[in-house]
Structures are given as C-alpha cells and as structure tokens.
Structure 1
Amino acid sequence: MKKAVIGFLVLALFLVSAACSANGGSGSGSSAKKTITVVWYPNESGADMKSSREAIDKVIADATGKKVVDKLTTDYNIAIEAIASGNADIGFMAAQGYIEAHKKNEKVLPLVVNSGASGTLKDAVYYSWIAVNSKDADKYKSNNGYSIDGIKGKRMSFVSTSSTSGFVVPSSRIIANFKSDHLKQEDLQVGNKFFKQVVFGQSHQGSAVNLLTGKADVAAFCDTELIRYVDLANGEMNKEGSTYKVKANAEEPFNKLGGKEFTVLAVTPVLNAPVVMNTETLSKSDQKKVLDKLTSDDVANDKGIFAPEGSKGMYAKTQDERFLKIEDGWFDEIRKLSE
C-alpha cells in the first residue's frame, strides 16, 4: 500500500514538473505557446492608434508565426502589472514603467527602443512639457521668457505616478526649481502640500484635457503623445514659451476642444520609451525572432510604424529613426530621479 502511495506521488510530481515546463515555468518561456500578448499603455490604447497597433502586431506575428493578442489598458499600473505577472509577454511602456515592472519581476527586460533621427541612441529622446492655458501664460512670464516659479499653490495635473515624462521628470524639475521648499516626489502627489490640488489624467491625453477643460491650472504631458492632436501656433517645437493649438478635426479626447491653446513653460528631454518583454513567458527563440525583426531595415522603413510627416504611425520618421537593441543599464539615469 505504501509503495503504491509513493508511486502515485512520484507520478504526480512528474506530471506537475512537465506541466510547468510546458508553460515556460523554467524561466525561458515556451516555443510551443500559440499566442503572444502585447500590453499597451493608455496613451496608445485609443481607437486613433488602432492601425499603428495592428502594424506592430503584424511584425510580431510574421516574425514568430504566432497569433498576437492586444491587451488595452486605462491605467499605467494595469500595464505594469500585466507584464510583470506574465499576463503579457511584450509591453510598449516608458522608462519608469519598465523600471517598476523590473522591480516586481527581474525577468522583465528591455527589448528595443526607438532611436533618434540619427538612427542612434545619442538623440533617442522625447520631451516632457509643463504647460498652462495660453490665456493665463502672461502670469508666468519671467524676464524675456517664461518660468515655473508661479505654479506653487495651483491645481496640477500629472499623468500617473508611473509615468516618466508625465510625473517623474517634471516632478524632478519642480523639486530642483523650488529647492528652498525641500520637496520630495510624494509631496507633489497630493494637494495642500505644494499644489492646491493634484489630479491624474491616467494618460498624456487625459492630463492635457484636464488642463484645457479647466480641471487644472498647470499640467504635465509629453510632446510625442500630443503632437498628433495639435499644431504649433507660435514659437518653435519643443522650445519653452511656444504655444500649441488643438486641431479643428482632432480625434477623441480632443474632438470637442478644437482651437484651444496651451503654452509650454518647461521642456525637459527624456529617454525614449522601450519595448519590454517578460523573458519567462516569451521563449528565447521568440525573443530572438522579435528582436531581429524589430531592428530590421524592413521595420525601419515601415510607414505604418515609423510614419513620415503627414501620415499616422506609432513613431515619427524624420531621418533615420529605427528600433535598436537596448540594455537595462541605459535606464539608470531615470532610476536616479526617483532615489
């Protein structure tokens, strides 16, 4: 009887071990997996980005021969948790989101990042903006330009505490500007400490809408997520003091805000946002296939992904933009901002 019980237990353990191996429990993923799940931040989850998502999904599907399923989100934390927990295999995120996901699960690693116009990492940056409604911009004039000196006590909109350009970078700039206040990032997350009130848009678009609809006096968001909805009305692109106007035919959530203008008080460069992977759920074979395809000339020249001026895509194509392989250490600069 005892021998039978022992034999049963050994068989059960063998079956469990085999099941774990088949599901990628070894930490290397399973090449037998039939689908790859891609999670998207709220900024890219809208209907206006559907064709761009589909273009990237097709690249991944063609590279691996597998079905690609999109996981759309309304909150940064949902996307971060999805990639960290293994409910998603690939994620289009920002630096801070990747850092948080990697903290939760060290098996989450960067895959690629979009380069700058040079086709290298030297100019692989986008820009974080701190803006006000243009009708109020004169209140923030300083000498021959503008400053953020007057934002204390105002109603502030950030994107999410997990947003690099929508919270980590602008909050760091505010802390540096108001040194005598001895601020910490957590002081800027709630009202009645530095700001009168703090709200979160949960996307860059949402933060801008908070500003333009009067829910906030000041807002943080980035250039890449806003540029498809606005035109440069005055000044130079990504220069402090420049004004932008919402397009008359802008898509949601700006479809009822055509003509509204905002002026940018502060512009700060930010490391480009990575595409990340869960190396425990995505097999080594698929990792290589996706990496090789994303960094190929074919993808660099795919107008559905790297879009020339006047067309829609996930990334702008001005010169030699493309995807480049990236390592974890590249994000140390952003990590230091939250220390």
Structure 2
Amino acid sequence: MRLKKLALMGMGLILAGTLVGCGSNSENSDSSNKEKLVVQFVPTNNDGSMEAKTKPFAEYLSKKLDRDVEVTLATDYSTIVEAMASGQVDIGIMPPAAYVQAKDMGAAEAILTSELGKYDEKTGLPLEGELTSTFKGEILVKSDSSIKTLSDLKGKKIAALSPNSASGYIYPVAELKDAGIDPTTQSTITTVNDIPSEITSVLNGQMDAAFVFQGARNVFASSFPDNDLFEDLRVLYLTEGDIPNDAIAVQPSMDETLKEEVKQVFLNMTDDDEGAEAMAIWGHKGYQEAADSAYDTIRSYTKKASE
C-alpha cells in the first residue's frame, strides 16, 4: 500500500512538472506566435549608409512591440506606395505625397505625424527647441549665380526629386506655375536620386538650381566637408505653402489594439536614447496625433503641378 502511494505521488509530480513545462513553453512562444511586422521608409540619401541603420531600428521595434519586426528601404517614393497597396508593408514611414497617394488607394491610415526642428526663414538656421508639424520647399542656387528671380529660371537646368516628392518637385513646380513660369516646359528638369546628388549638381555647375526641402543645407552639411553650404549656396525661393510632415501610416485593416501599440511606441521614442537614435534616421524630433485633413493641401498642389 505504501509503495502504491509513493508511485501515485511520483506520477503526480511528473504530471505537474509536465504541465509547468508546457505553461513555460507557451509563455516563451507568445512573442514568436505574434505575426511579424514589416516596416518601410524612404531613405534621405542613397549612399548606402541607411542600410546599416535598419537592423538596430528593427531590433528596437521588436523589443518594444514584443514581436519580430523587419525594416526595409523603399527604393523611391512610388515603391513605398506600391508596397503598402500590395500589403507587403504593415507600417510605412511615408513622405506626405506618398502617404496621400496610398491613402487615396485605401492602403494607408496615418496614426501619427512627425515633428521636425523649425528653421528661421531668413537665416535658414534651426530655431533651438522649436518644433513644427510642417515644412517648406526651397529652391537652391549657387551664391554667385546670376539667377536672382523666379523668372530667371526660364531656360535653366533644374535638379529635382521624384514627381511624387512634395518639396523636391510638387510644391515648387506648382508655385512656379502660379508665378507664370512653367518649369516643365520653360526649363529643363532632371530627376536625381537624392538631395546630396542635387546639391552636388548645383555646386559643380551641372545644374543651375535644385528643388529641396527647407533646411537641406543644415541636414547635409556633413556630406560636404570641403564646402560651406551656407557660403556656396543661397535660397532663391521658399515655398509659400506649408507641407505636412511625414506620416506614420499603417494598413487600415490592422488590429486596433496593435495600431495603438505601434502609436505608443513611436510617441515614446523621445524617452530613451535608442528611440531618439531611431528617430534621427529621418530627422524626426517627435510625433503627434495625425490630423488627416492636414494632408488635403497635397492633393491640390499635386493637381496643379501635373496640369
């Protein structure tokens, strides 16, 4: 009888241990059972430096969201739209015009808008501690250029970004047309890969002007150690229209709980060094709740630029 009791106790201990083990394995597999998220963004330059930054950003998001996260680079403004529309990307860090295009296709929902450092419109220098949810486009020329007015751009060579870029094409083209100058027919517009390439083409005389975003001379100063971009380049024109900043957009079908988790991770990025380092990839200084109506202006400018 005593042996029988001991045997039953032993079986009970084994069974309890098995159940505990199963519970432990279940807990450990929670994060691995969660669906992987794919994040994509458009790099500000194509020199290869952005690729190295995707891994630590992916690791940061994986840790914060407790699931596997893959971060990829879009080759240009249109590919991130296509990736969102095809469902290959769950979260897009999207330039404004690309976001609007994806939104109108039912492929993106902005959960946050980024905040950028604000610039003094006269000096072009950053305003310490001031943030903004919008920016402007700039037309840059060489400081000693004979181009003094917008009319002087007639017959000139202009470096631009993709026609899907708000500051690198849409806004300056639309406002030039408002001023009676159609750069698509009265000038020669050449599309280049990124802003450093635009700046280089103006500095070396290949191009007479470049469409860039406000503050580009600050952002890319370190890419030109042999030049003082504030000495060598000047702002011919600053767009009147304000351009909404990048959108943090998700698939509209994403689970509401997950949307909120993603939103909170981005909102809290300023609270730790890893988060701040991740934000620096795009020059973001913080995030705020998205007001989708803020992006409506993109539609009117896009229509005008394409007329």
Instruction: Give distance in 2, aligned partners of 1:167 and 1:77.
Output: 14
Instruction: Give distance in 1, aligned partners of 2:257 and 2:33.
Output: 10
**Contact 1:52 1:304 survives alignment (8 Å):** no
**Contact 2:77 2:164 survives alignment (8 Å):** yes
User: Which sections of structure 2, spanning at least 5 residues, go unmatched?
Assistant: 1-31, 119-129
Normalising by structure 1, what TM-score?
Answer: 0.66
**Contact 2:57 2:71 survives alignment (8 Å):** no
**Contact 1:306 1:315 survives alignment (8 Å):** no
1:313 to partner: Cα distance: 1.8
Instruction: Write the mapping of 1:83-162 to structure 2, written as runs, cut at 5 A.
Output: 83-104=84-105, 106-115=106-115, 123-136=132-145, 139-141=146-148, 147-162=149-164
Normalising by structure 2, what TM-score?
Answer: 0.72
Q: Which amino acid aligns with 2:257?
A: S
Q: Does 1:204 align with 2:190?
A: no
**Contact 1:42 1:72 survives alignment (8 Å):** yes
Please give the root-mean-square deviation of Cα atoms over the aligned residues, in Å.
3.1
Q: Which amino acid aligns with 1:275?
A: I
Instruction: Give distance in 1, aligned partners of 2:45 and 2:275.
Output: 13
Instruction: Give distance in 2, aligned partners of 1:304 and 1:265.
Output: 38
Tell me which of 275, 296, 299 is aligned to 1:332: 296
Match of residue 216 from structure 1: 207
Q: 1:56 to 1:130 in 2, by over 3 A?
A: same
Bigger radius of gyration: 2
Q: Does 1:283 align with 2:290?
A: no
Instruction: Give distance in 2, aligned partners of 1:117 and 1:211.
Output: 25
Q: 1:228 to 1:213 in 2, by over 3 A?
A: same
Instruction: Give distance in 2, aligned partners of 1:271 and 1:93.
Output: 11
User: Which sections of structure 1, spanning at least 5 residues, go unmatched?
Assistant: 1-30, 142-146, 232-245, 249-256
> Secondary structure of the residue that 1:156 maps to in structure 2?
strand
Tell me which of 168, 171, 174 is aligned to 1:172: 174
1:52 to partner: Cα distance: 5.6
Tell me which of 307, 313, 321 is aligned to 2:280: 313
Tell me which of 292, 306, 317 is aligned to 2:264: 292
1:332 to partner: Cα distance: 0.9
Q: Does 1:194 align with 2:186?
A: yes
1:159 to partner: Cα distance: 0.7
Percent pairwise identity: 18
**Contact 1:74 1:202 survives alignment (8 Å):** no
